[in-house]
Amino acid sequence: MTSARETVLGRVRDALALAPTPATAVPRAYRTGWALPDPERLALFTDRLLDYRAEVHPCTADRTAKVVAEVLRDHGARRIGVPAGLDPRWLDAYDGEVCQDAADIPAPRLDSLDAVVTASAAGCAETGTIFLDGSPDQGRRALSLVPDLHLCVVDLSSVEAGVPEAVARLVPERPTTLISGPSATSDIELERVEGVHGPRTLVVVIRTDR
């Protein structure tokens, strides 16, 4: 008996033989290699994030710990989760409980955290998108998903102007999550509502000199 695999591939070949079409060249005349100076990239990225109702805090790298602590305090986050590779100095000014994540912690336990703090792999100014790729300072995907507040630290130098430039930074084999604002839905009368299953609050700390 022919396997489904052989049958389907055979059908595809037959179909292409029935209706042969010439090879297609892909025109890539769209914008690539777009670059913007730091202040403009920062302004664009911030504008987009605010448009999604994310909270944005630009700061210099030496103020990271102070800003992180202030944000967590303002949101009443007393118990936070962090990936194992997060720079511990970012939490120097935070006086709440810090739980380091590990692969064997069951996901439901993450639900009891008030917030999660992660770094990021890249960003895209034009769409206000943050890319996480599971590196040690970002952690497994469940960690940045289950807690209701995600505080993400982004270095401005990792924020590209446009989508092609940002996609070029990604490593395909890594589990990658693109985040553009807090979770949202347009399912009720096509009106955007923030806050469904993912974190309902997204706070982005942009380090302007890194």
Structure tokens at 192: 């955007």
Site for other proteins in 18-37 (CB under 8 A): 18-21, 23-32
CB of 62 to other proteins, least distance (A): 31
102-127 in b/e burial notation, b at 16+ Cβ within 10 A?
Answer: eeeeeeeebeebbbbbbbbbbbbbbb
Q: Which of 141, 158, 169, 208: binder of other proteins (CB under 8 A)?
A: 141
Q: Which of 126, 153, 154, 205: binder of other proteins (CB under 8 A)?
A: 126
Q: Which of 80, 159, 181, 203: binder of other proteins (CB under 8 A)?
A: 181
Cα dihedral 20, 22, 25, 30, rounded to 10, equals -70
The three-state secondary structure class of 38 is helix
CB of 183 to other proteins, least distance (A): 4
Number of residues near other proteins (by CB under 8 A)? 78
Q: Which amino acid is at 134?
A: G
Q: Tell me: does residue 147 bind other proteins (CB under 8 A).
A: no
d(CA 162, CA 202) in angstroms, rounded, equals 21
Q: Tell me: does residue 190 bind other proteins (CB under 8 A).
A: yes
Of 4-12, 61-69, 71-79, 112-120, the segment contacting other proteins by CB under 8 A is: 4-12
Backbone angles phi, psi at 82, to 5 degrees: -140, 150
Q: Tell me: does residue 197 bind other proteins (CB under 8 A).
A: yes
Site for other proteins in 69-108 (CB under 8 A): 103, 107-108
